[in-house]
Structure 1
Amino acid sequence: MIRAGVSVVDITPPAGLEMCGFAARIPPATGAHDPLTVRALVIGDTAIAVADVIGIDAALSNRVRQASGLPPERVTLAATHTHGGPLSMPGRLSGETDPSFLAGLEEAFVTALRSAASTAEPVTLQGGVGPEPGIARNRRHPNGPVDTGVPVLRLNRADGSAMAVLISYACHPVVLSSDNLLWTADYPHYVRICLEAALPGAVALFATGCAGDVNTGHSAAASLDPVSNPARSFAEAERIGQAIADAALAAPLRSLGETIKAAQSDVLLEFADDEDVPALLAAWKTERQSAPPNRARLLDIWSDWADRRAQQAPAPIAERVTTASWGGARILAMPGEIFAETALSLRRAVAADGPGPLFILGYADDNPGYIPPESEFAFGGYEVTEAHRFYGLPAGLAPRSAERLAKAVFHAAGGQHHDDITKGDCHD
């Protein structure tokens, strides 16, 4: 019989730290609306742990996995990507990280993993896919692709009660906007408390899917707007969280097996390096002289990036992809902000493999920013041409980076050649 354990560690920072996720948000956090946590699930000698932060970097992932007490190649760390948390990646996303918070985050990951492993007990697995809750919207293309459905993995104790439930949904946790100054996991908080209310004694874990171009309906440009939007409220986050939880609870579950597998692969990604940075910097400084406050803040961020970029030549970066199979429930995890098109190509490629639900996750083991599929470069826009400056990267990642990651994780999962993951789709 499979043995599994679960653990939750609180990582809620004190008030006064800088928040992360919106260029328009300047004041620090004034308090907490709901707890930020690290939640770990250990199944056999494999594990996934998810933190309520905007991202983790590869260095932290490596240290945690080495200290976890588990085979490091069989551990996946992920972030919910909430925009209601503190800065969590040194040198990324235009702010100064707090060393004490980073140390606490690392310790919390290790503690959660070790605690989950030490409290493991016999479990049986059930899996299924809940109906699309109708929340996610492609923010770049009207009626554009989204990765629909809610994969569910339930772990039951010997007495039949639920010990843990892992679900995923592909939608940016950005219901709250730049005027929010309270720590919050955003809608994933409500997903978890709704699931835990319905399954007494269980711990709920939420892992964000490939949501790089998907949120609840607003554009990425809204992050630059300091004007309050009443529709982006905690009440709306609760409504969305309840809808996703209801979809998960409606999933028809089937019994899964006891075979456990895990694998990883490394992928070298290159940068595009196609910007005339000195010319851009000169133009930004000229525009800055007469820019309104919110635009001026953006230009300051970009100018700081350009100054650092002069000393930072683009060099390839190594990224990690991971896979796991728990009785037929499959996890495919990739770093960064992966687009829906990439997730859907993987779903087509592995649709016939195995009886269990398929989780396709982003924001895992590193977050090097947006990783658009090749088809999106023709459209430009924030995610393709600008976001790397906020992420502190020397340039945007080169075309076909997403396809390389998808191919690597597909092969790590045991897949063979498949055309769907090596070609881009077209938009109307």
Structure 2
Amino acid sequence: MRSLRSPFSLLVASILAPALAGCGGGETKEPPAATPTPIVDAQGRATNLNCPGAVGCEKAEGDLRVGASAQKITPTIETWTDTNQNGEWDEGEAYEDKNGNGRWDGVWLAGFGNGRAATGVHDDVWARVVVLEQGDVSVGMVSLDLVGYFQEYVLDIRQAAAAEGLDFDHVLVASTHVHEARDTMGMWGRDPSTSGIDPAYMDHIVKQTVLALKEAKAAQKKAKLVVAQAQAPELVNDTRRPFVIDQNITTLQFQDESGAVMTNMVFWGNHPEALGSKNTLLTSDYPHYLRETMEAKWPGAPTVFFSGLLGGLTTTIGIVGCPDFAGMETCEQGTWERAEYVGKGAAEAAIAALEGGSTVKDDAPSLAFRRRSFLLPATNISLGIAVLSGLMPREVYWWDGKRVTEAERPGLGAGLLLSGDVVIASEVNGIHIGPVAIATAPGELYTELWLLTPGGSSYIESPDGADYPDALAEVPVQSVLPEGSIKVMVNNANDAIGYVIPLPQWDQVPPYDYVADDDQYGEENSSGYQAGPIITQEFVKMYAE
């Protein structure tokens, strides 16, 4: 925090200091030195921070130094003989007791419903990181192959890294939102009333992520930057009107002084769900093939994938998979061929763009970031009850920002969520690397809340059947970022609050405009109708500081 003193107080101090120094031989006391902003405040919330400029990260001068690393976070799978073919272990069925605790420990895959136990591992899931340092400013960027990762766990990683002596000013932790990894949000356990979270596995994620951060920090070298953008519209679909997609596959390639590639960071908005609901092998889905393809091109250079815009809903569902010469689909949703088609196709587009003539190069890139914490009402009753019951473990707060204590939690009811008396805490970030401005949202942002039309206006609609016909359209986040920058979005960053929908398009009550029935998937999986207005305004406030 900055120490601010008015001109008047400085004048008084200058007059009194000599007199006080001569009284009784006493010495003047220096004001306490300003200290760096803590990782969390007294209530356990993320703190606001802008660097360079704040205490502890005053200047970003000199070379940009970059390092990358990857550590596996693959859980141990205990296979079993599924005699009755019901998808889970039953008494009397043989199983592998790999941890020797005398019971079968199911690994429940996240997404598509409850009771989907993993039967093996197709490919590892990862904590992949890039760390950047310039002068006093140090940033870690983490991508986890998980469906979602709550704010509390993000703060655990930041504090664990600090405890290891890693002096990061900020650590971004995003999940790829893969639907084929272990449940880390609690929603996809054995049944709807049982959490799928294993505390020991959550601790393992923290440990492995900190290890990756440490290794990447040790590997830092002076770096230059190449930025490329590609598009592959045949690989991504939008399943809800208005059909708006940010088609850019943006790659940040860092090279050392000799031009050797150190790492690639790829940003693209497309749900990693090509394997579908019937798959029971643990996998990172299409990001596995994307990273594999890029790492075959540049061996020894880890590829770190971040999911871009996921709301709206951008997905592999509905594309034509592996079209033949006549344009007919040859690999259906739910197949490994489909996942490879999407991941390899996106990687090949990124590689072609990096080797093309339209890249942006910066031999001396700068580094800066902004972090802003805020409170958000969670008016989705189903998800709210899951939080209050402990099924989805996360902290809740009173409207004034004070953390709800363990003693107070048993007395909480859904009515307090609806009224806004009890809220959740989250954050937004802006990370600036040379010409690139990266905005991070804590959920799955509808593309209309991000993207500007070619003419600079908003894509947000006000359909007749929506619930708030008089609502004002939110300010698209792109319009807040620095003019002329290459603008990139990361979703499910530092939290996982579900879909973030423009308020004018919120459509949960009949008559429906966008669908003919009551399957309002976006609204059903959103923290609530206030998320869009609040999150976009937090970006405005963050960049007004």
TM beyond 0.5: yes
Match for 2:123 among 3, 17, 34? 34
Which ranges in structure 2 are unaligned for 5 or more consecutive residues?
1-62, 78-105, 320-330, 386-410, 453-475, 510-518
Shift of 1:90: 4.5
Alignment of 1:88-237 (within 5 A): 88-90=184-186, 94=192, 95-141=195-241, 144-212=243-311, 213-218=313-318, 230-237=332-339
Residues 97-146 of structure 1 show CA distances to partners (whole Å, capped at 9, x for unaligned) of: 112211101111111112111221111111121124432211122x6111
Asked if structure 1 preserves the Cα contact closer than 8 Å seen for 2:66 and 2:132, the reply is yes
2:197 partner SS: coil
Asked if structure 2 preserves the Cα contact closer than 8 Å seen for 1:269 and 1:398, the reply is no
2:525 partner SS: helix
The answer for the alignment partner of 1:386 in structure 2 is 524
**1:379 and 1:147 mapped to 2: Cα distance?**
25
**1:411 and 1:194 mapped to 2: Cα distance?**
40
Asked if structure 2 preserves the Cα contact closer than 8 Å seen for 1:73 and 1:263, the reply is no
The answer for the alignment partner of 1:239 in structure 2 is 341
Shift of 1:14: 1.6
The answer for the alignment partner of 2:65 in structure 1 is 3
Shift of 1:410: 4.7
The answer for the alignment partner of 1:407 in structure 2 is 537
Alignment of 1:263-282 (within 5 A): 263-272=370-379
Q: TM-score, normalised by structure 2?
A: 0.62
Letter in 1 for 2:502: P
Residues 172-200 of structure 1 show CA distances to partners (whole Å, capped at 9, x for unaligned) of: 10111111000111111111111111122
**1:247 and 1:181 mapped to 2: Cα distance?**
29
Asked if structure 2 preserves the Cα contact closer than 8 Å seen for 1:9 and 1:39, the reply is yes
Residues 72-107 of structure 1 show CA distances to partners (whole Å, capped at 9, x for unaligned) of: 652110000000000113568853211221110111
Q: TM-score, normalised by structure 1?
A: 0.78
Q: Report the CA distance shift for 1:91/1:241 in structure 2 as closer, same or farther (over 3 A).
A: closer
Q: Report the CA distance shift for 1:91/1:190 in structure 2 as closer, same or farther (over 3 A).
A: closer
Matched, 1:253 2:383: no
Number of residue pairs the alignment of both structures matches: 366
Higher relative CO (Cα under 8 Å, sequence separation at least 6) belongs to 1
Match for 1:19 among 76, 97, 109? 109
**2:490 and 2:212 mapped to 1: Cα distance?**
20
Asked if structure 2 preserves the Cα contact closer than 8 Å seen for 1:339 and 1:372, the reply is yes
Q: Report the CA distance shift for 1:200/1:398 in structure 2 as closer, same or farther (over 3 A).
A: same
Matched, 1:362 2:488: no
Letter in 1 for 2:431: A
Match for 1:52 among 130, 134, 145? 145
Matched, 1:318 2:425: yes
Asked if structure 1 preserves the Cα contact closer than 8 Å seen for 2:477 and 2:536, the reply is no
Shift of 1:71: 5.3
Shift of 1:337: 1.7
Greater Rg, structure 1 or structure 2? 2
Q: Report the CA distance shift for 1:258/1:27 in structure 2 as closer, same or farther (over 3 A).
A: closer
1:105 partner SS: helix
Asked if structure 1 preserves the Cα contact closer than 8 Å seen for 2:146 and 2:179, the reply is yes
Larger helix fraction of residues: 1
Shift of 1:67: 2.4
**1:397 and 1:348 mapped to 2: Cα distance?**
22
Letter in 1 for 2:200: S
The answer for the alignment partner of 1:287 in structure 2 is none
